[in-house]
Amino acid sequence: MRSEEFELSGMTLDKMKAAAQTKMKQDVWEWINGGTETELTLQRNRAALERIVLKLRVLHGLEKVSTSVTVLGKALKTPVIVAPFAHVGSVHPEAEMALAKGAEKAGAMMFLGQVSTCSAKRVVEAAGTPIVWNAEPLRDRKALIAAMNEAEQSGCCAVGVCVDDYAGVKVKERLKPLRNKSFTANELKELRSATSLPFVVKGIIDIEDALMAADACADAIVVSNHGGRVLDGCQASIEVLSDIVKAVGSGVEILIDGGFRRGTDVLKALALGARGVLVGRPICWGLAAAGAQGVARVLEMITDELQRAMLLANVPSASTVPRDCVIVG
């Protein structure tokens, strides 16, 4: 075993974060970890998860659990998914290639952001793991459709669009303006009909919006407030999860992100109806600290914690987590 691998196997997420900080320039570090303006929503994502408690259930004789799930038709070893990132080249020189290799090692799905250092084709070819291509809501809709079609040809298993990132990402007072534009219901339908692949809408936090995405025939919705990087003061994603699951029904797969750091957090989301959980900043920490190996380690750490939590909550399968294993405070 190489010394780097040996050190990684004993890592906690806090240690990974500390190791990442030593490798990143201060402005990049702040850009990755921060949230909009007062960071109320960034904090609320965590606080809302902490308010939900798991039931400890011990008298059941359960010895083995399975973290396997199926997302967008793909069988995965874990419901933990790599979130999409723009400008990840500033975190590690191997950028998206390392994200894909790390995801493959952990048996995880990866979302690939449109603003990438390399083509979707190269990322798909680099790793045998399902890649979901995730577009920006570009103002130029023709260019958006052309890019989506190119991703489709590259072998991605699904395509989608992040619909909340049209007023620019803002971290504290630092705004990154973008040439993006909000979607209307009709525009979303047009985009959906331009691909035959499963279609994902990322960045929904409101029931009406979720119903519009379902009406546009989205196959999956990512309940997300962009990790607290768009509208400061809006709800935490976990707070709205149950209502969105109930509103859209079983025809649309619901994924979620925002503040997920532990396997216990993931179990809470699965109990409230999510099929998978995207993880953002911790993946960047793993990438900065140790490239693909670091990414794999973060995914495996959270999955190992999930496995243990399932055993202690009497949940045999991550694909059918009962609602009553959590209490929402």
Q: Please identify every residue annotated as catalytic.
A: 226
Residue number with the smallest Cβ distance to ligand FMN? 280
Cβ at position 110, least distance to ligand FMN in Å = 11
Q: Say whether residue 264 binds ligand FMN (CB under 6 A).
A: no
Cβ at position 237, least distance to ligand FMN in Å = 8
**Which segments of the chain does DSSP mark as H helices, in order?**
3-9, 13-23, 26-33, 40-51, 95-106, 120-126, 141-153, 185-193, 207-215, 237-248, 263-271, 281-312
Phi, psi dihedral angles at 145 (to 5 degrees) = -65, -40
| Residue 72 or 83 having the CB closest to ligand FMN | 83
- Enter the tokens of residue 192: 């959906």
Stretch that binds ligand FMN, among 59-67, 222-230, 243-251, 298-306 (CB under 6 A): 222-230
Q: Say whether residue 286 binds ligand FMN (CB under 6 A).
A: no
Say if CB 81 and CB 255 are below 8 A apart: yes
Q: Say whether residue 279 binds ligand FMN (CB under 6 A).
A: yes
Out of 281, 290, 301, 302, which residue is the one contacting ligand FMN (CB under 6 A)?
281
Q: Say whether residue 83 binds ligand FMN (CB under 6 A).
A: yes
Q: Say whether residue 96 binds ligand FMN (CB under 6 A).
A: no
Q: Of all residues in the chain, what percent are helix, strand and coil, respectively (each to 5)?
A: 45, 20, 35
CA atoms within 13 A on the CB side of 242: 11
Cβ at position 63, least distance to ligand FMN in Å = 32
Say if CB 293 and CB 4 are below 8 A apart: yes
Determine the distance from the C-alpha atom of residue 63 to the mean position of all C-alpha atoms in its chain, rounded to a whole number.
29
Out of 130, 137, 259, 263, which residue is the one contacting ligand FMN (CB under 6 A)?
259
Total residues belonging to the chain? 329
Out of 19, 32, 100, 267, which residue is the one contacting ligand FMN (CB under 6 A)?
32
Q: Say whether residue 82 binds ligand FMN (CB under 6 A).
A: no
Cα(252)–Cα(93) distance, integer angstroms: 36
Say if CB 304 and CB 259 are below 8 A apart: no
Q: Say whether residue 257 binds ligand FMN (CB under 6 A).
A: yes
Handedness of CA 258, 264, 270, 276 (dihedral sign): positive
Q: Say whether residue 47 binds ligand FMN (CB under 6 A).
A: no
| Residue 199 or 260 having the CB closest to ligand FMN | 260
Out of 17, 44, 192, 226, which residue is the one contacting ligand FMN (CB under 6 A)?
226
Determine the distance from the C-alpha atom of residue 24 to the mean position of all C-alpha atoms in its chain, rounded to a whole number.
22
Stretch that binds ligand FMN, among 4-12, 13-21, 148-156, 251-259 (CB under 6 A): 251-259
Residue ranges in 108-137 that form contacts with ligand FMN under rule CB under 6 A:
113, 115, 134
Say if CB 127 and CB 100 are below 8 A apart: yes
Looking up tokens 């921060």, which residue turns up?
34
Give, for 75, the enclosing helix (H) or strand (E). Answer: strand 74-76
| Residue 84 or 286 having the CB closest to ligand FMN | 84
Residue ranges in 154-193 that form contacts with ligand FMN under rule CB under 6 A:
162
List interacting residues with ligand FMN (CB under 6 A). Answer: 32, 45, 83-86, 113, 115, 134, 162, 202, 224, 226-227, 257-260, 278-281
